[in-house]
């Protein structure tokens, strides 16, 4: 018997998993809060225990980043995400306004189709499972084909932990036969109620094109402004470490430094001490031509690679200990490819006189490729910090911290998340860090507070119809008009 083509296998798998998830959800939607929390705690513990192994798997399968850093991201997804939602009520009455006599009642969304990237393939799976199951949803993954094995393994570990603690089979699942047709079939399946897409622009557009509700998060061309009031040693240390973290595979990583001119030389020297290599114009041009294709698309061969690896591919050498490559730039937009998001260890560098000019440069960078996403500022002047907070078209402004870890909520107080909303300006439904409370709806049971006005209770007076005489008169007029036309 002839085997099915791979795309047909993928489509059938998507249909089977969606149907199984729907059956599991019908059971899970009636789970108690105690059952939900027991299952989620067990899954978080299982993922935490497997964090190192999954980090190694992700690095080996994709070739991206640093396995130790991927372990840290897995731990963040398992520990920090769970800690942030474990006390969240997601079952039954979750709120009561005594004065307004309203009860808020949680209601799960249903089956979620989750798309995940190759850059953060296991940590994103861990995080999405926890927030979905906590909200009493089922979840089916369509992972990036370049990370299918490690994403499946992460989902399998958590599914086994869930079922061992009372969750129905099929509540958590992941496709193994990956194709574009299969992913489309999953997203468009009649039992899928919502799409949770994290990845590149084409993936996010595909999610939004299905006609279903979707949380889609695209690129983040994140600038970091360093003001003359900043702690420069800390800024230099954080910027280099953040850009080098997992070789810049988190979308909130700094993409370009905008340095206040009076402190620019000092900042550059301090960054060099931390392992930044400032390229000369020739090296910058070699890197520009390597990292981006003529149409502006990024060369996937350099995604998540070390500075030494990229320099070698470009054709020049860097000193031992180099962690990132820095390109001095003057333009922003299509005429300067390196002003785009760079999911690798290459950082742009701009110098501007004063925070107002720095603010404008940051806006240019954001508008070119990161609308709604994130911005980092290093400063101690509260007026400058607030000006950036008020004026930037982004929804995360992280102050005096690493962009990579601050925007996702590891080093700041924002909600821990691996999916960062870009708001309306960025084509997203929300600017929040996506978490469990985005994955359930709220019903409202509302009692009467005041009686209706008297006018609403008075029967309406019907308009009287025409009399016989009026009807005969109208008919006579019509007849006369017809005769006149003849």
182: CATH = 3.40.605.10
Beta bridge partners of 214: 195
CA dihedral 362, 367, 368, 373 (to 10 degrees): 80
Number of domains in the chain: 2
Asked whether residue 475 is assigned to any structural domain, the reply reads: no
Q: Are residues 184 and 240 in the same domain?
A: no
**Predicted pLDDT of residue 73:** 97
The widest CA-to-CA distance across the chain, in whole angstroms, is: 106
**Predicted pLDDT of residue 477:** 83
Asked whether residue 416 is assigned to any structural domain, the reply reads: no
Question: In what helix (H) or strand (E) does residue 36 lie, and over which residues does it extend?
Answer: helix 33-49
From the list 40, 150, 174, 251, the catalytic residue is 251
Q: Checking DSSP bridges between strand 214-217 and strand 394-399, what pairing results, if any?
A: unpaired
Sign of CA dihedral 40, 41, 46, 52: positive
**Predicted pLDDT of residue 218:** 67
Q: How far, in Å, are 351, 416, 438, 467 from residue 480 at the CA level?
A: 87, 81, 69, 20
CATH number at residue 360: 3.40.309.10
Asked whether residue 386 is assigned to any structural domain, the reply reads: yes
DSSP for 181-230 reads HHHHHHHH-TTEEEEEEES-HHHHHHHHTTSS-EEEE----EEEEE-TTS
Q: Are residues 212 and 261 in the same domain?
A: no
DSSP for 104-129 reads EEEEE--EEEEE--SSSTTHHHHHHH
DSSP for 339-360 reads GS--SSSEEEEEEESHHHHHHH
Q: Are residues 226 and 160 in the same domain?
A: no
Q: Which residues of 66-83 are buried (b: 16+ CB within 10 A; e: fewer)?
A: bbebbbbbbbbbbbbbbe
**Predicted pLDDT of residue 290:** 97
Asked whether residue 480 is assigned to any structural domain, the reply reads: no
Asked whether residue 366 is assigned to any structural domain, the reply reads: yes
- What phi and psi values does residue 31 have, to the nearest 5 degrees? -65, 150
Contacts of 296 by beta carbon, 8 Å cutoff, 6+ apart = 334, 337, 340
Whose CA is closest to 73, among 122, 27, 33?
122
Contacts of 43 by beta carbon, 8 Å cutoff, 6+ apart = 129, 130, 133, 158, 161, 162, 172
Angle (CA) 406 215 301, round 5°: 65
Which residue do the tokens 């390229």 mark?
Answer: 279
Question: In what helix (H) or strand (E) does residue 395 lie, and over which residues does it extend?
Answer: strand 394-399
**Predicted pLDDT of residue 370:** 83
Beta bridge partners of 376: 224, 398
Three-class DSSP category at 151: helix
Q: Checking DSSP bridges between strand 440-446 and strand 102-108, what pairing results, if any?
A: antiparallel
**Predicted pLDDT of residue 1:** 40
Q: Are residues 347 and 233 in the same domain?
A: yes
Start-to-end Cα distance in the chain: 81
Q: Are residues 258 and 210 in the same domain?
A: no
Q: Which residues span the domain enclosing 372?
A: 222-411
Distance in angstroms (rounded) separating the CA atoms of residues 463 and 276: 84
Q: Are residues 210 and 229 in the same domain?
A: no
Q: Are residues 352 and 282 in the same domain?
A: yes
Asked whether residue 385 is assigned to any structural domain, the reply reads: yes
Q: Are residues 19 and 89 in the same domain?
A: yes
In a 10 Å sphere around its CB, with 0-12 CB exposed, 13-18 middle and 19+ buried, how is residue 402 labelled?
A: buried
Contacts of 144 by beta carbon, 8 Å cutoff, 6+ apart = 115, 116, 117, 118, 121, 151, 178, 199
Beta bridge partners of 301: none
Q: Which two tokens stand for residue 406?
A: 């601050």
Q: Which residue positions in the chain have pLDDT lower than 70?
A: 1-4, 218, 485-486
Which residue do the tokens 């999953």 mark?
Answer: 186
Q: Are residues 132 and 247 in the same domain?
A: no
Asked whether residue 99 is assigned to any structural domain, the reply reads: yes
Distance in angstroms (rounded) separating the CA atoms of residues 396 and 223: 12
Q: Are residues 90 and 199 in the same domain?
A: yes
Q: Are residues 261 and 146 in the same domain?
A: no
Q: Are residues 281 and 181 in the same domain?
A: no
Q: Which two tokens stand for residue 65?
A: 């980043």
Distance in angstroms (rounded) separating the CA atoms of residues 102 and 86: 25
Q: Quick check: is 251 catalytic? A: yes
**Predicted pLDDT of residue 486:** 59
Angle (CA) 34 90 159, round 5°: 65
Asked whether residue 402 is assigned to any structural domain, the reply reads: yes
**Predicted pLDDT of residue 4:** 66
């Amino acid at each position: 018997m002839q085997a099915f083509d791979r795309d047909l296998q993928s489509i059938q798998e998507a249909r089977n998993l969606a149907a199984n998830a729907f059956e599991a959800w019908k059971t899970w939607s009636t789970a108690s809060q105690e059952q939900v929390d027991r299952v989620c705690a067990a899954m978080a513990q299982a993922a935490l225990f497997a964090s190192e192994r999954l980090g190694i798997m992700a690095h080996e399968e994709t070739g991206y980043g640093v396995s130790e850093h991927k372990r840290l991201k897995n731990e963040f997804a398992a520990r920090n995400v769970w800690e942030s939602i474990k006390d969240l009520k997601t079952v039954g009455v979750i709120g009561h306004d005594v004065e307004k006599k309203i009860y808020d009642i949680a209601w799960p969304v249903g089956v979620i189709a989750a798309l995940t990237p190759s850059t953060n393939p296991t940590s994103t799976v861990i995080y999405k499972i926890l927030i979905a199951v906590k909200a009493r949803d089922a979840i089916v993954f369509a992972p990036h084909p370049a990370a299918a094995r490690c994403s499946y393994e992460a989902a399998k570990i958590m599914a086994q932990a869930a079922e061992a603690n009372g969750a129905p089979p099929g509540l958590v699942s992941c496709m193994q036969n990956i194709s574009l047709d299969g992913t489309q079939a999953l997203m468009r399946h009649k039992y899928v109620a919502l799409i949770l897409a994290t990845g590149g622009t084409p993936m996010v557009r595909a999610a939004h094109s299905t006609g279903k509700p979707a949380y889609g998060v695209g690129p983040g061309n994140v600038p970091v402004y360093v003001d003359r009031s900043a702690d420069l040693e800390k800024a230099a240390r954080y910027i280099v470490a953040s850009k080098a973290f997992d070789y810049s595979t988190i979308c909130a990583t700094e993409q370009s430094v905008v340095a206040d001119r009076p402190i620019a030389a000092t900042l550059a020297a301090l960054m060099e001490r931390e392992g930044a290599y400032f390229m000369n114009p020739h090296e910058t041009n070699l890197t520009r031509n390597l990292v981006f294709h003529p149409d502006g698309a990024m060369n996937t061969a350099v995604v998540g690679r070390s500075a030494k690896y990229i320099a070698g591919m470009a054709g020049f050498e860097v000193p031992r200990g180099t962690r990132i490559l820095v390109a001095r730039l003057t333009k922003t937009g299509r005429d300067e490819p390196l002003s785009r998001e760079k999911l690798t260890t290459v950082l742009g560098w701009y110098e501007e006189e004063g925070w107002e000019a720095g603010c404008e440069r940051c806006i240019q960078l954001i508008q070119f490729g990161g609308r709604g996403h994130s911005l980092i500022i290093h400063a101690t002047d509260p007026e400058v910090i607030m000006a950036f907070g008020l004026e930037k078209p982004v929804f995360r402004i992280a102050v005096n911290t690493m962009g990579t870890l601050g925007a996702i909520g590891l080093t700041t107080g924002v909600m821990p998340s691996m999916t960062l909303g870009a708001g309306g300006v960025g084509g997203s439904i929300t600017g929040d860090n996506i978490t469990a409370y985005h994955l359930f709806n709220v019903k409202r049971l509302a009692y009467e507070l005041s009686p209706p006005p008297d006018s609403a209770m008075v029967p309406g007076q019907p308009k009287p119809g025409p009399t016989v005489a009026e009807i005969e008169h109208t008919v006579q007029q019509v007849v006369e008009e017809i005769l006149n036309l003849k």
